[in-house]
Amino acid sequence: METEKIIVNQGEQRELRYDPRQIEEKWHARWQADPTLYAAEPHSSKRKKYYVLEMLPYPSGALHMGHVRNYSIGDALARYMWMQGYNVLHPMGWDAFGLPAENAAIKNKVPPKQWTLSNIAHMKSQMQRLGFAYDWSREVATCLPEYYRWNQWFFLKLYEKGLAYRKKSKVNWCPECATVLANEQVVSGCCWRHEETKVEQRELEQWFVRTTQYAEELLADIEKLEGWPEKVRTMQRNWIGRSEGALVDFALDGIDGPAGSKITVFTTRIDTIFGATSIQLAPEHPLVTDFIANDPHLHAKVEELVEEQRRAKESGDIGSIEKHGVFTGHYAVNPFNQEKVPIWVANYILMDYGTGAIMSVPAHDERDYEFAQKYGIEIRVVILPRRTEEPPAAGQKEEPVLPYTDKESLLINSGEFNGLSNQEAIEKMTAFAEQHGFGKKTVTFRLKDWGISRQRYWGTPIPMVHCAQCGVVPVPEDQLPVVLPENVDITLQGSSPLARMPEFVNVSCPKCGGPARRETDTMDTFVDSSWYFYRYTNPQLTDRPLDTPTVNYWFPIDQYIGGVEHAILHLIYSRFWTKFMRDIGIVKNDEPVVRLFTQGMVIKDGAKMSKNKGNVVSPDDMVARFGADSTRAYALFAAPPDRDLDWQEAGVEGVHRFLSRVYRFVMRNADVAGKSSGNALAADAGSVRAIQRKLHQTIRRVTDDFQGRWHFNTCIAAIMELVNALYGVEDEIAAGRFPTEVLADAQRSLVLLLAPFAPYLAAELWEVLGEKSNLLRQPWPQYDPALAKEDEIEYAIQLNGKLRSRIAVPAETPESTVQERALADEKVKASMDGKQVVKVIVIPGKLVNIVVK
C-alpha cells in the first residue's frame, strides 16, 4: 500500500494511521452518554447471572498500574461473559474511609471529605477513560452516610447478639504527637513523624468483634473454597491456627505462692507431661506480677525480658532471638506425679497464645531443649520411637530432640501410662485429668477477636453512648446514621478530633434521657469492605442494608479478583461477615466468593512500582501516548495474570503496533464486496483453507483460556498469529481472489475476539464493518472443530530420541502407514547406518521414534 489514504464507502476518506486518541475519545463520549450500556438486568432476568468483582480501590488520588492490571483482567472477563449471554453484574466503588485522608488534611488543610471525593471523581474519570465496563448506577462510596449507616446498623446487630463487646487493649501512643498511632504509623518502634520518639503502649477500652465465635466454621469452610488459590487457603488456615490440646492445672507449691493459686498451661502433648521439668511463664503473665512484687531483683530481670520480647516483636525477629529466662524461686506441682517443678519466666513464651504458660518438656520439644540446656534443667525422656528400643541412660541426650508422634511410639517413665502410644496416651491422660478435675480437653486458635476501634476521625462513628447512669447504651436504630461531623479540626492535639467536639460528644442518653457522652471511636475500615459487595446489588435502598431476594439472585460472587495482599484480613473478615449476615437471616449463602483470583504485582526494573523507588509508570501517560486499548492489552499480554508483570515500555509499543495492524487490515478490507467477485476466482484453495483453520483454532484457543487458565498473554499471541496469517493473504485479497464470505467472517470474528482486550478498537471496527449492535450483546464466536482441524500432519522422525527428519502425511493416516513412511525416509535411512531397528514408537499426530541398535 503506497498511499497513506484509501477510498472507502461513498468516497469518504479515512486515515489509515491508527489513532487511538481519536477513536477512544469518540467512543468514550458515546459510552458516557449511555449509562445503561453496562447495567445489569434486574434479578427477574431470564439470563443466567454472573457476578464479577474487582476489589474496590482506596481513593488515594490516582490509579496506578496495579489497578489497571486488576481491572483489565476483570473487564476482559466481564465482557466475555456478556458476550456469552450472561446477565453480568460488574460494579465498582470506593473504600473511602481511612488514614491518608486525615494526613492530607493535616498537610494541605483540606477537609478529608473534600479530598476523598475529589480523588474519587478523578479516579472515576480515569477508569472511564480506560473504558472499563462498570455499572456506575451501583457505585458505592463507603464514606457517605447512605453507606456507613449500615455499618452502624450491623454493629448494633453484632452488639445485640453479643458479638461486639468492650475490652481493655493496648494501643500505640506517641507522646510527642500525644495521639494514638495505627500499626502502620509505627516505624521500627518509633513514631513515623518523630523518628526519635519511642512509641509507648497504652491501655484503652476498645470495641471488639467476636470473630473467634466463627473460628471453627471459618476453618472448616475453607475446604469448600475449591475455586480459591491453594496459597490463600493455606494462609487462612494458618491464620486461624486451630490447635487441639488440653488445659492442665499445676497447683502452686503452697507457702511461697499466693494462696490457692494455680497455673493453667496449654499443651498439645499431654502425653509428655511426665517429662515436664519446669513451668515457663510469659513475662507478661499476671502471676509474674505477684511474684515480682516483693522481689526487686526478679522485677528488674522480668522487665528486661518484657522489653526484649517487645523489641523482637517489633523488628520481626521474634522466633530467632536467643532464649533467656529467670527462675522465680517458686514451684508448682505436676498433678500427674505430684512432683515439684520450678517456675521460670522466659522470653520465648507469648502471653497472647494459649494461657501464656507452658509445661516445659525439654526431651521432646526443641525450644524447651534449648532452654533446658542453657540453664541446666533436667531433660527427662518419656517417649521412645519404637517399642524395641532401650531407654537411654539417665541424663544422656546426644540426639536432637524428637517429638515421636507416630503410632510406634512408646511411653516410658510415665507411671500407669507406660507402654501406651503417643495417640493413646493423649486420649487417656486427658480423660484422667478431666476425671480428677485438674484439666480438660480444649481447642485454641491463633485467630483473635477483631479490634475495630480506631481513635480516628475519618471512619464510621461507632453508634454507642456512654451514660453515667445506664452505662453503655446503643443508639436506637431509628436514630441512625450517627453522622460524622464535617466542620472538624484535624490537627494533632492529643485526642481524636471527634472527642474535641462538644456538639458531637454531648448527647442525652437514649435510655434515661440524662446527659451522656457519645462514643468517639470510629470503625476500622475493614468493616466497610467486609460487606460492600452486597450493597452493590441494591445500593439505593434507604430502609435496610440489602434486599434479600436480590442478594440471593446475585450471590455468591462468581469471580473475585484482586491482590494477594488481601488474602488474610479482608477475606477473613468478609467471610465472617457473610456468616453473621446469614445467621441473622438476611442472606442465605455461607460464603461470599466462589472463585478468587489473585493477580501478580506490577514490577519495573526489578522492583515493585512505588514512589519511593521512582519507577512508577503513570496510566494517564500511557493512555495519552498509546491509548487505553494498548495499555490494557499490554497489561494482559506481558505475563499470565497470576504472575508478576515486568513493565516494559517497548512492549506497550509492540502491542500498539499489533493493534495498528488490526486497524489497517480491517480498514483496507472492510468493504469486502468490492474486493472479490466470489469463490470462482479463488486461485489458491489452500490459503483459504489455511485462513479458516487459523481462525477457528484461534477462537478455540481464546475460548478455552477464558474457560480455563486465563492465560490472556497466549490468547493475545494467538490473535496476533491470526492477524499475521491474514496479512499473508492480503495480496490475494487485493487481487480479488479471496472468497468474500470467508474474509468477512474472519474479520467479524477477529473483532469479536478482540473485544474483551481492546474494547475501543473493537467497537470502532465493528462499526466499520457495518454493524450497529452493542458488541457486548453480540454472541461470542463459535469454533467449528472440523474447520479447526489440520488436513495434513507433520511427524517428527526421531532416531533414538534425536530428531532426524520430518514427514508430512494427510490427517487420519493410519499408524502403520506413518511407520512405513518414516522407515522409508531417505534421511532416516542415511542416519540408520546399517543398524538394526529394535522398536518403533508412533505417537499419533506428533512423532515417530525409531529405536535402533
Partner RNA sequence: GCGAAAGUGGCGGAAUUGGCAGACGCACCAGACUUAGGAUCUGGCGGGUAAAACCGUGGGGGUUCGAGUCCCCCCUUUCGCACCA
Residue pair 816/824 in contact (Cβ under 8 Å)? The answer is no
Residue pair 77/40 in contact (Cβ under 8 Å)? The answer is no
| Binding residue (CB under 7 A) for RNA from 94, 97, 154, 266 | 266
Assess 646 for contact with RNA (CB under 7 A): yes
Q: What part of residues 44-73 is at the interface with RNA (CB under 7 A)?
A: none
Q: How far is the CB of 293 from RNA (least distance, A)?
A: 23
Q: What part of residues 280-319 is at the interface with RNA (CB under 7 A)?
A: 282, 312, 316-319
| Binding residue (CB under 7 A) for RNA from 82, 291, 658, 780 | 658
791-803 burial, b at 16+ Cβ within 10 Å, e below that, comes to: eebebebbbeeee
Q: How far is the CB of 104 from RNA (least distance, A)?
A: 26
Q: How far is the CB of 394 from RNA (least distance, A)?
A: 23
Assess 823 for contact with RNA (CB under 7 A): no
Assess 356 for contact with RNA (CB under 7 A): yes
Number of helices (H), then strands (E), belonging to the chain: the values are 27, 36
Cell of 111: 477537609
Q: What part of residues 237-256 is at the interface with RNA (CB under 7 A)?
A: 238-239, 241, 243, 245
Using CB under 7 A, count the residues that bind RNA. 92
Which DSSP helix (H) or strand (E) runs through 72? helix 65-83
| Binding residue (CB under 7 A) for RNA from 66, 112, 131, 354 | 354
| Binding residue (CB under 7 A) for RNA from 648, 679, 778, 819 | 648
Q: What part of residues 780-809 is at the interface with RNA (CB under 7 A)?
A: 794, 796, 798, 800-803, 806
- Left if phi > 0, otherwise alpha if psi is -120 to 50, otherwise beta: which for 419? left
Q: 104: closest CA among 95, 116, 92?
A: 116
β-pair type (340-346, 278-281) = parallel
Residue pair 534/587 in contact (Cβ under 8 Å)? The answer is yes
Q: How far is the CB of 250 from RNA (least distance, A)?
A: 13
Sheet containing strand 506-508, edge to edge, reads 471-474, 464-467, 515-518, 506-508
- Rounded to 10 degrees, the C-alpha dihedral 28/34/38/40 comes to 170
Q: How far is the CB of 264 from RNA (least distance, A)?
A: 11
Q: How far is the CB of 692 from RNA (least distance, A)?
A: 18
Assess 347 for contact with RNA (CB under 7 A): yes
Q: What part of residues 415-474 is at the interface with RNA (CB under 7 A)?
A: 444, 446
Q: Distances from the Cα of 275 to the Cαs of 141, 263, 427, 783, in angstroms? A: 59, 17, 17, 70
Q: What part of residues 579-638 is at the interface with RNA (CB under 7 A)?
A: 637-638
DSSP 828: H
> What is the rounded distance in angstroms from the CA atom of residue 116 to the CA atom of residue 147?
15
Cell of 824: 522409508
Q: How far is the CB of 280 from RNA (least distance, A)?
A: 7
Assess 677 for contact with RNA (CB under 7 A): no
| Binding residue (CB under 7 A) for RNA from 644, 684, 784, 815 | 644
Assess 349 for contact with RNA (CB under 7 A): yes
Please say which residue, 44 or 320, places its beta carbon nearer to RNA. 320
Please say which residue, 105 or 433, places its beta carbon nearer to RNA. 433
Q: How far is the CB of 850 from RNA (least distance, A)?
A: 9
SS3 206: strand
> What is the rounded distance in angstroms from the CA atom of residue 802 to the CA atom of residue 795?
13
DSSP 592: S
Burial degree of 501 (CB within 10 A; 0-12, 13-18, 19+): middle
Assess 498 for contact with RNA (CB under 7 A): no
Q: How far is the CB of 230 from RNA (least distance, A)?
A: 7
- Helical axes 740-754 vs 712-728, angle rounded to 10°: 160
Please say which residue, 152 or 813, places its beta carbon nearer to RNA. 813
Q: What part of residues 527-566 is at the interface with RNA (CB under 7 A)?
A: 564
Which DSSP helix (H) or strand (E) runs through 327? strand 325-333
Assess 353 for contact with RNA (CB under 7 A): yes
Q: How far is the CB of 347 from RNA (least distance, A)?
A: 5
| Binding residue (CB under 7 A) for RNA from 213, 660, 679, 687 | 660
Q: 132: closest CA among 75, 86, 58, 48?
A: 75
Q: What part of residues 721-750 is at the interface with RNA (CB under 7 A)?
A: 721, 724, 727-728
Q: How far is the CB of 46 from RNA (least distance, A)?
A: 32
Q: What part of residues 132-171 is at the interface with RNA (CB under 7 A)?
A: none
Residue pair 849/840 in contact (Cβ under 8 Å)? The answer is yes
**Candidates 77-85, 153-161, 351-359, 449-457; binding stretch for RNA (CB under 7 A):** 351-359
**Which amino acid, one-letter code, is at 427?**
E
Assess 216 for contact with RNA (CB under 7 A): no
Q: How far is the CB of 54 from RNA (least distance, A)?
A: 20
